[in-house]
Copies of this chain bind each other. A is one copy, B any other.
């Protein structure tokens, strides 16, 4: 299992430089590192080499890969067809070729996350540095296991309780029909089976995200007001998906004090770097894990006090919305919704009160 690091901020070239220097730094410490980027020209130009959709050595202990959605989609499609063949008696997807699949919005994100998961599980790397979009898209990507889990738990129960779901699981007429087309007995219990593999992946993804020693992000900013505002916005938004933000990396020395804007995060100032000249930036980078484990946790649940505390820096009370329409409590901020899955002791209880204090949203039950 690898440490997965990513960077958030407005200036994408600065982010990519910090990602490169970080990957080189970790490799220099003897860690086996994978530097992964999207299909954009910046990373290969700054590395001074062409990149491929398969990892290749670019320095001792350091490999680099460029995610290409079209390539990853092709590979995943074979898996989808295998699943289809397993569950459907007369599969028809086999007539569609991976090479012709168009890439839909969001697919690139999901495929990149899946690729990171596979590289993580391969055991070949101690650290994976992901140079992604560094914005809300990266956040939605890392929050995907949680979002999908919510859709699964919410809609599965509704379906099973519905007339359609009941008929499928109970009717002696519908069962044989389903068996004719699918290689499964679609009873309520069996209905869960095809999703077990997926559920397992989702649970692992959520556990990794909740562990700052496994997945952490760092903010990259200069003292430009728009960059600072964006970094603060992404900082708060990261908490919404449960991503730990370990610290701030300031890409240009400044007289302005930014410590108040990013408290309690430590700020590391790094000099600029150009192709081939990474040493000074590498030397100025912080110890990522040491900082990440010190950072405020995105969520803390205190059963004894019947409280949930959400760290939401960068937002004020007006920008945060709390609702309880469905079975869970929903927090809306940073253009994202977080449905909080409560432990049994608090589950189903109505919200008794909520207040905003020192960057924390404190919800009482």
Binding site for B on A (CB under 8 A): 10, 12-13, 38-42, 45-46, 68-70, 88-90, 92-93, 95-97, 99-110, 133, 135-137, 140-141, 143-144, 146-148, 150-151, 154-155, 158-159, 161-164, 167, 173-174, 177, 181, 225-226, 229-230, 232-233, 323, 325-326, 328, 330, 332, 334-339
Known: A13-B226, A41-B226, A335-B70. Contact between A109 and B105, CB under 8 A?
yes
**Contact between B335 and A39, CB atoms less than 8 A apart:** yes
**Contact between B107 and A225, CB atoms less than 8 A apart:** no
Would you mind naming 11 contact pairs between A and B with Cβ atoms under 8 Å apart? A41-B226, A42-B229, A45-B225, A46-B226, A92-B158, A93-B158, A99-B323, A102-B336, A102-B338, A105-B141, A108-B140
**Contact between B163 and A90, CB atoms less than 8 A apart:** yes
**Contact between A332 and B70, CB atoms less than 8 A apart:** yes
**Contact between B136 and A108, CB atoms less than 8 A apart:** yes
Number of this chain's copies in the complex: 2
Known: A96-B154, A104-B106, A105-B110. 19 other contacts (CB 8 A): A10-B13, A13-B226, A39-B334, A41-B230, A70-B332, A92-B158, A92-B159, A92-B161, A92-B162, A97-B326, A99-B325, A99-B330, A100-B328, A102-B151, A102-B336, A103-B140, A104-B147, A105-B106, A173-B177
CB distance from A18 to the nearest CB of B (A): 15
Give Cα A147 to B238, complex, Å: 30
**Contact between A150 and B41, CB atoms less than 8 A apart:** no
Known: A96-B158, A97-B325, A158-B96. Contact between A105 and B137, CB under 8 A?
yes
